[in-house]
Chain A
Amino acid sequence: MTSGNTVSAKIFRYDPAADKAPRYETLEVPLEKEMRVLDVLDYAVENAGVAVGYRWFCGVKRCGMCGVSVNGKPVLACWEKATPSMVIDPLPNMPVVRDLVVDRSALEQATLEMEPCLKRKEPYESFPEPLTHRDFEDAYRLMTCIECYVCTAACPVLSDANHREFAGPASLVQLAKVALHPKDAGERVAAALKGDIYACISCYECSNVCPVGINVLEDAIEKLKRRCAAQSESNPGAKHARIFTDLIRKFGRIHPPTLMRQSKGLMQSVSKMSMALAMYRKGKVQVRPQTVQGIEEVRKLFKAVEKDQ
């Protein structure tokens, strides 16, 4: 039982080199004003003498190294406020090194493979470059990404074994950050496709958990996807996105049989025929695409959005 004045923390303990299986260690910690999860972990070691392993350096959202999972939600321990009852686990989607310490090296490698360094078309001239805040507006939204990989930990696609090639949201933010720099001329579409960007299901989990408040999906991933759709002829994901958009532009909604046929081809469409029939019987699809009422409004929206780009 916890009173209002204590934190009951159930902390994941596991040393794969020495322990047969993970276990939890529960301790009571006095709750202090505006206490953070990191304070609870510090208390465990420094006051209670519980040798839990956790990483941190700065305590104030600069180092990006104190990611843990609290009651199932990936967070930064320095930023997240402690609550009376917490289960503290290591971040998911990464191998455990010890207790709450995870091995991020594979994810960091994925970021590095995106080559997230500025590649200028023209050589740099002199300081200061004649650029305005407007030129940086898109890149600016991503500038305080500290690469804490909390978004990647929250990504449901990465926990799906079918998407091992997906680079994950954190790496895509790093790619977008450099791709959106006004002077960048790197091969960013190729990198995004290599990172299997279309495996992203646009579920917003990354945006929801970002500790520095970046809208990861809209301001990074969708911006890259749009660039891919516009520039890649052959990538199936990019092609699918273009057909999807065209259908909406034309009819105001998608028409699954047309989308399927145009995107995946006749053979794959035929293989899904039984599903299509079932959907037809239940009135979920029509044989021919139907234009929605008020299509003029949809077209106006398209015009507005495309003008904006």
Chain B
Amino acid sequence: MKIWMAMAAALALSVSAGAAQAADKLKACWVYVGPVGDFGYSYQHDQGRKAVEKELGDKVETVFLENVAEGPDAERAIERLAREGCKIIFTTSFGFMDPTIKVAAKYPDIKFEHATGYKMADNVAIYNARFYEGRYVMGQVAAKMSKTGVAGYIVSFPIPEVVMGINAFMLGAQSVNPDFKIKIVWVNSWYDPGKEADAAKVLFGQGADIMVQHTDSTAPLQIAEEQGKLGFGQSSDMIKFAPKAQLSANTDDWDPYYVARVKAVLDSTWKSGSTWGGMKDGMVVLSPFTNMPDDVKKMAEDSVAKIKSGELLPFTGPITKQDGTTVGEAGKSLPDEELLGMNYYIKGIDDKLPQ
């Protein structure tokens, strides 16, 4: 399996990096962890790349590498882009963090941008999206729409980002129905349509009637559609797969960020920094609310507006953890560092967090 992935990555490298060169254009490059055809996370980043091409036209040339395995392979891939004349390189997965920092140290004139990590340098900026804002609103909608009061939640790996999402969802749900329950299944994969479908079937079989996922395929939502249940899309708007089941989808929109950052390099105004954008910045977008009555839709839209204005902070303290202790100051959001290292469930979640 490992060998196969490494070889697949090597193959992907040799195939997709073959774009033509042009000396006077700025070369902007992307490294993806998955295939651009996943219709999820990597797909969404690639939409951003296409937006850059569209927006800046002749001034840029873009290159991407897909299916790059996290780890030593990534370093080779990134370095190769650096040597090939890329002036700005976006590395879009958490596991590319250390490779990015290493390569950046060797090429001080090239700008690097790393998504979802926390290590920075003079020529390495970091960016991420506040996905949890969308999940809070999803929780509210789920609690309103569920008849059984139970949502099924399919998740990948117990990293802070995912745990944060579960907690935000629950906080949203509890704000509507304090007794709301979720059943959680970890499939230990970001992307395995078959497993995700199996998990969805099992969860529906156990009484959940709303499906939430933090994995990347459309499979769980398709099962919801098939069984006449409801669910939320992930990363991309998946309404085509579940016209009667999708309530909304928590999507990432990297387009404006990518356009702005590439432009900054063109204008020589690029600076390293940390961007954690949310709904307000248009980086997290909930796709249209569908398959719900008007009052629920209105509640959801109001929440979105309040989150945008800063009136509603999903993680407002004090928050009670599963073990009964509390965190956060009253009336204030948990600080970003606390969120980025979140490794506990909030009260009301019956599952045990895998460590």
Answer yes or no: are A and B bound together in one complex. Answer: no
Interface residues of A, Cβ cutoff 8 Å to B: none
